């Protein structure tokens, strides 16, 4: 799946060939988005994932109406949004800074937007009661927001944004200020809120774990472009491009020679001379020198005799649930091709209760690579 991908479900947001250039025509112009296209489905938790400066927040601001596109179209449930000011768009935004009113209570903060819209008092009270229950803050309805913890303040900000029942909720890295444990708890809470409300969530983050944990689909962005769109499993197990493979989790990238193509798979020859079946990305790939990727947890260590790859253990890192073995592979650094930048390779083995390290630094080992665990990359 790539940036122009669409689905059969109802389209909540359609981004059609959108570009955004800041300072257009000047010597200092910056291309923040370059001909971006993607369709976000109704009732979907969709994440824009990428490093700082990749354009993900700019795209979110275009949907919200805080910026206007230089070119292209943005549609919300089939209606064009270009030129429409933020207050006339049926979307709401939750920012990194929650911007709550410290002199107001939790309930007053949640109902403030409805009050500004002139909603009847009984409707406001009913909606606030429902939102308090949704974010599990009924007991704190009368407390001032400056007396709340960071996680509680975030729940209030979410409830306030959800109260008018927007068609789309935009979230710009709202978990970045929370500590690790609370951030993990709120990841689960956000997914629950999206499921219970049925509202389309568009979430911006640079945190790959957040994206994999919460998303129905992820768009990986770099340099103002969408490189790949897919489910968390598709993005993790089948990265199409080297940047996606590098950015999502730990990965080993090796040079290989693509010798045969059979539909969605191919035969590749590794530096050892052994061949394995590898998955192909979407798009055209020709025989010849390629990069192949494999996750550290998808290989095993064993005898070097007859192994697909061989190398020596240079470092061992224990991290609780597993152990990383860092190897220097033999023959890979001299194999040529686009990935020949040394033979560093990581293997992750799951720790067993009462188990001890099975291998030692300096030990020569074989890396066992099974058919189908390798992924050919486009670049």
pLDDT digits (tens, 9 = 90+) for 241-298: 999 999 998 999 999 999 999 888 999 999 889 999 999 987 767 778 999 999 999 9
Give the residue carrying structure tokens 């803050």.
137
**pTM score:** 0.87
Query: Which pLDDT tens digit goes with each residue over 203-255?
Result: 999 999 999 999 999 999 999 999 999 999 999 999 999 999 999 989 999 99
As a whole number of angstroms, the distance between CA 224 and CA 19 comes to 8
14-28 pLDDT per residue, tens: 999 999 999 888 888
pLDDT for 303 equals 93
Euclidean distance between CA atoms 202 and 27, whole angstroms: 33
- Coil/strand/helix, residue 375: strand
Sheet with 168-172, strands from edge to edge, namely: 91-94, 168-172, 200-205, 45-49, 217-222, 225-230
Q: Which class for 351: exposed (0-12), middle (13-18), buried (19 or more C-beta within 10 A)? A: middle
Contact 48, 60 (CB under 8 A): yes
The overall average pLDDT reported for the chain is 89
Query: What are the pLDDT digits (tens) for 52-67?
Result: 999 999 999 999 999 9
Q: What is the dihedral of CA 203, 94, 34, 250, to 10 degrees?
A: -40
Q: Report residue 73 as tokens.
A: 């179209």
User: Is 76 exposed, middle or buried (CB count within 10 Å of its CB: 0-12, 13-18, 19+)?
Assistant: buried
Coil/strand/helix, residue 158: helix
DSSP 71-121: EEEEEETTEE-TT--GGGSSEEEE-SS----TTSBHHHHHHHHHHHTT--H
In 3D space, the residue among 318, 319, 299 whose CA is nearest the CA of residue 310 turns out to be: 299
| DSSP letters for 230-261 | E-HHHHHHS--SHHHHHHSS--EEEEEEEEEE
| Total residues belonging to the chain | 379
Whole-number pLDDT of residue 355: 58
Asked whether the predicted pLDDT for residue 335 surpasses 50, the reply is no
Quick check: helix, strand or coil at residue 275? strand
Kindly state the helix (H) or strand (E) to which residue 169 belongs, with its residue range: strand 168-172
pLDDT score of 42:
96
Q: Report whether pLDDT(148) > 60.
A: yes
Position 352 pLDDT exceeds 70: yes
Q: What would the two tokens of residue 248 be? A: 């999502």
Q: What is residue 300's three-state secondary structure? A: strand
- Burial-class residue 353 by CB neighbours within 10 Å (0-12, 13-18, 19+): exposed
Q: What was the pLDDT predicted at 254? A: 93
Whether the CB-CB separation of 333 and 342 falls below 8 Å is answered with yes
CA separation, residue 122 to residues 12, 35, 222, 300 (Å): 30, 46, 47, 63
Q: What single DSSP character describes residue 270?
A: -
């Amino acid at each position: 799946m790539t940036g122009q991908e669409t689905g059969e479900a109802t389209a909540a947001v359609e981004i059609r060939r959108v570009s955004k250039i800041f300072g257009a025509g000047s010597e200092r112009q910056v291309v923040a988005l370059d001909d971006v296209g993607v369709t976000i489905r109704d009732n979907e938790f969709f994440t824009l994932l990428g490093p700082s400066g990749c354009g993900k927040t700019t795209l979110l601001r275009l949907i919200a109406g805080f910026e206007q596109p230089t070119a292209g179209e943005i549609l919300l449930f089939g209606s064009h949004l270009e030129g429409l000011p933020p207050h006339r768009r049926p979307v709401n935004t939750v920012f990194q800074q929650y911007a709550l009113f410290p002199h107001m209570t939790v309930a007053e903060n949640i109902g403030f937007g409805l009050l500004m819209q002139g909603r009847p008092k009984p409707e406001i009270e009913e909606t606030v009661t429902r939102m308090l229950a949704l974010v599990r803050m009924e007991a704190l309805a009368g407390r001032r927001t400056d007396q709340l913890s960071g996680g509680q303040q975030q729940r209030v900000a979410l409830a306030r944004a959800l109260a008018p029942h927007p068609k789309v909720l935009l979230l710009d890295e709202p978990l970045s200020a929370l500590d690790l444990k609370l951030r993990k708890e709120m990841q689960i809470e956000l997914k629950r809120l999206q499921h219970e409300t049925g509202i389309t969530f568009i979430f911006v983050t640079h945190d790959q774990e957040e994206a994999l944990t919460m998303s129905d689909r992820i768009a990986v962005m770099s340099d103002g472009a969408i490189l790949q769109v897919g489910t968390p499993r598709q993005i993790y197990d089948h990265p199409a491009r080297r940047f996606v493979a590098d950015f999502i989790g730990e990965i080993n990238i090796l040079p290989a020679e693509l010798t045969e193509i059979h539909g969605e798979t191919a035969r590749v020859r590794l530096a050892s001379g052994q061949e394995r079946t590898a998955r192909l990305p979407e798009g055209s790939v020709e025989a010849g020198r390629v990069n192949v990727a494999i996750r550290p947890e998808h290989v095993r260590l064993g005898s070097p005799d007859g192994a697909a790859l061989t190398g020596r253990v240079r470092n061992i890192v224990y991290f609780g649930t597993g152990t990383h073995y860092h190897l220097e592979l033999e023959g890979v650094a001299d194999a040529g091709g686009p990935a020949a930048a040394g033979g560093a390779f990581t293997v992750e083995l799951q720790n067993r209760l009462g188990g001890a390290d099975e291998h030692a630094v300096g030990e020569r080992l074989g890396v066992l690579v099974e058919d189908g665990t390798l992924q050919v990359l486009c670049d």
